[in-house]
Amino acid sequence: MEEKKTLESPPEVQFAGVARWLRENLFSSISSSILTLISIAAISRLFRSGIGFFISPEREWTAVTYNMQLYMVQAYPEADFIRVWITVGLLIFLLGISWGFNSINEKIRVKDWCDGLLKSISSIIFLISVTPRVVEVEVKETLVDVEVFSNNTRFLWIAIAVTIIAVIYLLRRISSTSEIVRDRVSFIYLSLGVALIWIIKVPTVTFNSLNERIDPDPFLPLASTTKIPWTILFGVMLIAYFIGTFLKSNGKNSVSRMIMSSWLLAPLLIVSWIYRKPDFGISNVLTLDLPLSIGFSIIGIIAIRTLKSPKIVPYQRIIRYGLLFLSVVILFTPVLRQLKILFFITWILISIAPTIANSKESVKNLSIVWTAAVVILIFLMRGASSESLIVVPGSSIYGGFTLTWLLAFFGIAISFPFGVILALGRTSKLPVIRIICTAVIELVRSVPFITWLFFGSVMLTLFLPKGVEFDEVLRAIVVTAIFSSAYLAENVRGGLQSISNGQFEAADAIGLSSIQRITLIILPQALRAVIPPIVSQVISLFKDTSLVAIVGLFDLLYIGSKVIPNQSQGANFLGTIQENILFCAIFYWLFTYSFARRSMKIEKRLGLGER
């Protein structure tokens, strides 16, 4: 008999030391040494110049700190700022619950964590070392050297950094085999960030009794209206995280569907009720919304319970196409928006109910979901269709980062399902559907995004039914979603083409319907294969939201490039375009880099690229 072979993990690679690593990787030969020295000099020079630009007295960073509110919400009235904090709090609460519920208690070695900290602090020491002591400042058309970072300050910061490195190295030696939950590490970083906002001081614009600006700008702590809300929100995230872990530990897996639904409904609730402050009348709710909710709920429940009966089955196709025709007619009829949408979703229900409602339990669940969907939809429509009590200069209450977030989120949320549908339609065997989807994709992709924005701003209303009007923000969302869906469709089509015919044949062999084959077998594999290009499309869409400035919307970049550099009243920030453009660039980079890093973690978890 053959002896059983035990699989042993490979031995851990031991670090041979800094000197040996440098000799083998950077100074292995004369040419390698010369190239290393040239690279170090070039990198040092680059960082020295960049840091010198940032800390130069000529830079007026108060243009950013003073206008942070303008960057975030543009001209949203301060009296209603509680609505902004409720919006942020709702999203953070959902983030905390999702984080806790999906936590896998992944652990990392304390040694690896300390290695990462050592690399980060070593980078900080490098930046402190290359920071220039003096910079040239133009004074009366003459360049003058001004000291901005004294050697005493440099040595003090290096000493602090070296002390921290010594502490971390000691911790690394003591706890080399210990492990720590990754979530705790994340909360440590977040706690340090919250503590930092109570300690940090920033240059602040102040005025004297004559309303004249005090120069130079003093360094003052952050306002309590900033520190207290963010500290409370951090506590909200902690509580939500523990709620999520509690629900997971008690086996309440049905909560996952509720969390996903909450992420879909929260943005709709924010833009229709929380942020808008709608002026709705209770009479409209009682005389219009309530009857519509009851009526369409009953219609849907009757349809769910009767479409599978033997007497109705032969007429299912007639009912389905008849309701589709009625929905199209109502769409182009000057009636309430609620009716247009309700008839459309009723057609969707009738189309999918015979496939889903196969048992008494599924009939009951679908009836509950339908009733809840009708009530929630009418509730959201009431808030969205009512006049807003928020009064701001201009035509939209959305501006700054709020507008950027709104366009990016709804553009992605709408374009994804439409992109998948277009991809499936382009690969369909039905010639009519394939030709229509191909024409839409090629038409949208052949025209620049800026042109489509002009089209949506000027000509979109000409193609809408009578009485249907969109404001500028909604037009931009529609155009962004359509444009992104065309590119997303091609990414998904690439994933569909990567699926072998054996998968289709296997699905047919076990008796799956066309819808079940696509949703359960084909699409999950196709989407998994194209996660990198989908994330790339999301990042591109997030950056493209800055183009809406050409149709008169005040997004983050427009405020930084046009509004703040032209401020002349109160605090004069004329000509501060460099500071504001750099802030916008760093802001966009932080979000896009976060998207990319999250995508890499998802790919690693799914095993993409591994065989």
pLDDT single digits (tens) 258-290: 888 888 899 999 999 999 888 888 888 888 889
Phi, psi for residue 58 in degrees, rounded to 5: -70, -20
Can you give the pLDDT at residue 428? Answer: 84
Tell me the CATH number for domain 394-611: 1.10.3720.10
Average confidence score pLDDT of the chain: 85
pLDDT (0 to 100) of residue 7: 44
Q: What is the pLDDT of residues 416-442, one digit of tens each?
A: 989 999 998 898 888 888 899 999 999
CA pair distance 479, 550, nearest whole angstrom: 14
In 3D, which of 323, 334, 339, 324 has the Cα closest to residue 465? 334
> What is the 3 state secondary structure string of 494-519?
HHHHCCCHHHHHHHHHCCCCHHHHHH
Would you kindly state where each structural domain of the chain is located, as residue ranges?
A: 16-55, 394-611
CB 418 within 8 A of CB 537: no
- Confidence class for position 18, pLDDT limits 50, 70, 90: low
What is the distance between the alpha carbons of residues 576 and 183, in angstroms, rounded to a whole number?
40
pTM of the model: 0.85
Quickly tell me which residue has 């072979």 as its tokens: 5
Does the structure show a pLDDT above 50 at 4?
no
Q: Which of 59-63, 227-231, 607-611 has the lowest mean pLDDT?
A: 607-611
Contacts of 447 (CB under 8 A, 6+ apart): none
Handedness of CA 404, 407, 412, 415 (dihedral sign): negative
pLDDT tens digits, one per residue of 176-209: 788 888 888 999 999 999 999 999 888 888 888 7
Spatial contact of 89 and 233, defined as CB atoms under 8 Å apart: yes
Q: Please say whether the beta carbons of 425 and 434 come within 8 A.
A: yes
Q: Is residue 9 scored above 60 in pLDDT?
A: no
Q: Write the CA distances from 113 to 125, 182, 188, 393, integer angstroms.
A: 19, 9, 12, 50
pLDDT of 95 strictly over 90: yes
